[in-house]
Amino acid sequence: GNQTWFFQMKNGIDNKTYVSCYGGNSYIHVINQPDSLGIACDFVQKQLYLGSILNGHIQYGSFPNTPNYKLGAINCNVGMEKVTMNDERLTVYPNPCEDKLSIIGYQFSVNTKVEVFDILGQLKLNPAAIPPYQGSKGDFTIDVHGLAAGIYILKTTDDKGYQQVVKFVKE
């Protein structure tokens, strides 16, 4: 006697699609063959009975927000190898920055490589885009105006293979 409303759909781990009801219905509808067209999809209205508590319905519309477990392997590599540090500490300012980022108090050699990665480890500024450092010790400024707003990782590697890494925020 209750009117049935189709509300939210969710793919199950059994390759079926489940359809919730809105309005306190005690059933879930099932599409048994969701990859098939038309009536071949085998849609069954009220296929799963959820039961009731004290004559009240326990299904009120939405499914829980569960992840899709069938996404396959996820690459969590952040694109940066183990860092071999030297005694100096890399400092940047201003942080957060807008257009220019200065590296201060760091001893650069002629062959120091400076790279900027996004938070996913993708190289965003490479040594070819950053002019070589001229001088021995002091401030070194790079242009970051072309980067989108977000969190970035600046990495320097000197000619001895020592690396320094620091996070900065681009506004």
Q: What percent of the chain has pLDDT over 90?
A: 19
pLDDT in tens, 129-146: 566 555 555 567 888 999
Asked whether the beta carbons of 43 and 31 are under 8 A apart, the reply is yes
Query: 62 near 30, Cβ under 8 Å?
Result: no
pLDDT of 81 higher than 60: no
What local confidence, expressed as pLDDT, does residue 75 receive? 56
Q: How far apart are CA 99 and CA 95, in angstroms?
A: 11
Residue with tokens 């306190």: 24
What share of the chain in percent tops pLDDT 70? 61
